[in-house]
Structure 1
Amino acid sequence: MGAKLLMIVGDFGEDYEIMVPFQALQAVGHEVDAVCPEKEAGDTVKTAIHDFRGDQTYLEERGHDFELTAAMSDVDPTEYDGLVVPGGRAPEYLRTHEAVIDAVQHFFEAEKPVATLCHGPQILAAAGVLDGYEMTSYPAVQPEVEAAGCTWVDEVTTDRNLVTAQAWPDHPEWISQFLDVLGTEIEHGGAVAADD
């Protein structure tokens, strides 16, 4: 049996950073609940596609409507084995929700696996959980996470329970490292948690 994972998303989160891990983690047998404050199961968030075309920053275009699987107000973080925090523009407002901060703090206090990338670490910085970690993020978020007490590095990084990447081009390595931290053993037909 796979792990039960919580994914916190919001309007104009990065499309690939929501859709790809949501589907990839399910593909290997994990259960993923995608939630957003003030929205219910079956509601959608609008995603944004960020592309790199040689400008000084990324280009943002409208992505898909991504359907939530649960209501944030109904989930209990203690019932989940790990947390996924995608990037995009959503983290800048998601970090203002007390329920989001409380959930993130639970996963760090319990030393459960956490995967985040791009602008997702803005939420972790706001939650005050990054002190002493080595991690990465989208380069423009480096000042925020360093101010929160971490050491920033320029590569996909795992430090204890935390797996970080800079953006969606890092998915293969980022998801692979997160699966390792989860203790996922890939078998034909699904995932098996290491302690099952």
Structure 2
Amino acid sequence: MSIRQALKIGAVALAALWISACATNPETESMAPKTVDHVDLKRYQGTWYEVARLPMFFQRNCAQSEAHYTLKDDGNIAVTNRCRTIEGKWEEATGTASPQIKGKTDKLWVVFDNWFSNLFPGVAKGDYWVLYVSPDYKVALVGSPNRKFLWLLSRTPQVPDSVRNDMLMKAQQQGYDTTKLIWRVADSKVGKAD
């Protein structure tokens, strides 16, 4: 990927996250989705595959997405998001997730490393609320408090129908519109990268 493409992807990603963060209305905080009580970040780190998502502009060309999280010594999380287009090309963005409230791990800020966030530190950050994580840390639901964005995540690219249905039910109970979910494209339908 060229530097120009990386900058373009990063700028679009940050703009979308910034809009998401700005759209949160403190007056409706009592109506915000419920997050888990605690996330064990050591167990949460590793690779998560996106099973489905609510549409987000910077992911508009993604057929398959995955996130890699690594716990850092300072308690923050190094983030690497990878997107595979339908043509089979990979795009990547890196950043850092940090707790919104010190000592709490259910609500994180995510900031991607690019010129925009370096120019406007503290402005370009997105909400990452962990709504559900299974006891074995194999599936998770992550969303934004304004319910515009949602990710169904798994440690594997596919999940059994029973797990899928349970995740959908949990998202619906939290007030997310699951009729607009975009599902992961099967490997057989994604082109081979050069």
Q: Does the TM-score normalized on the shorter chain lie above 0.5?
A: no
Q: What is the TM-score of this pair, normalised by structure 1?
A: 0.30
Structure with more contact order per residue of length (Cα contacts < 8 Å, sep ≥ 6): 2
- Greater fraction of residues in helix: 1
Q: What is the TM-score of this pair, normalised by structure 2?
A: 0.30
